[in-house]
């Protein structure tokens, strides 16, 4: 499904869900295809540019962030831009769980590919009993609460 600018509230929400589904697949090659070949990112202190660097970045990320589950939610949108807030839960190889909170600003080309992604992210160590994202790895089920519903 190709969702292109200009965005409406409904198309922005649909675009966000497609992005969430892609990231929850934890398939770097699949995820990279929704970015322009020369896409520019800022993700924490890393600045991947282009699909090859995005694949390498995501491969490293998901090797380190185990049992990754993500929820994204619309914050704001414009003609060719979407602002998203998100949270994801993961554990490291020692078994410590984290909830990572953040915001992303996205800019798209006319074909609906993301050409710029700027992410700000903070990690909070959590106890396993405090996890809120409980679904089998992969796509979040449609009936699983979103961020606002979970009080996040």
**All structural domains of the chain with their residue ranges:** 9-130
Residue found under tokens 């499904």: 1
Q: Is 8 exposed, middle or buried (0-12, 13-18, 19+ CB in 10 A)?
A: exposed
Q: How many residues does the chain have?
A: 152
Please tell me what DSSP assigns to residue 141.
P
The total of other beta-carbon atoms located within 10 Å of residue 26's CB is 21
CATH for the stretch 9-130: 3.10.450.50
Instruction: Give the integer Cα–Cα distance in Å for 148 and 13.
Output: 14
Q: Is the pTM of this model over 0.85?
A: yes
Which pairing describes strands 114-126 and 35-43: parallel, antiparallel, or unpaired? parallel
Q: What is the pLDDT of residue 34?
A: 97
Q: What is the pLDDT of residue 1?
A: 62
Q: What is the pLDDT of residue 2?
A: 86
Which SS3 state, helix, strand or coil, does residue 9 take?
Answer: helix
Please tell me what DSSP assigns to residue 93.
T
Q: Phi/psi of residue 33, each to 5°? A: -70, -15
Residue ranges of the chain with pLDDT lower than 50? none
Q: Are 59 and 82 in contact (CB under 8 A)?
A: no
The per-residue pLDDT of the chain, averaged, comes to 97
Reported as a single tens digit per residue, the pLDDT across 9-40 is 999 999 999 999 999 999 999 999 999 999 99
């Amino acid at each position: 499904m190709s969702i292109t600018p200009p965005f409406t509230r409904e198309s922005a929400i649909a675009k966000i869900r497609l992005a969430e589904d892609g990231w929850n697949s934890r398939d770097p090659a699949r995820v990279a295809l929704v970015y322009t070949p020369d896409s520019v990112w800022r993700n924490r202190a890393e600045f991947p540019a282009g699909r090859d660097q995005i694949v390498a970045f995501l491969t490293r990320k998901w090797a380190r962030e185990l049992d990754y589950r993500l929820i994204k939610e619309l914050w704001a949108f414009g003609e060719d831009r979407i602002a998203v807030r998100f949270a994801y839960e993961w554990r490291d190889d020692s078994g410590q769980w984290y909830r990572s909170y953040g915001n992303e600003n996205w800019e798209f080309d006319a074909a609906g590919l993301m050409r710029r992604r700027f992410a700000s992210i903070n990690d909070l160590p959590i106890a396993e009993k405090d996890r809120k994202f409980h679904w089998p790895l992969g796509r979040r089920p449609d009936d699983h609460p979103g961020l606002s519903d979970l009080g996040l």
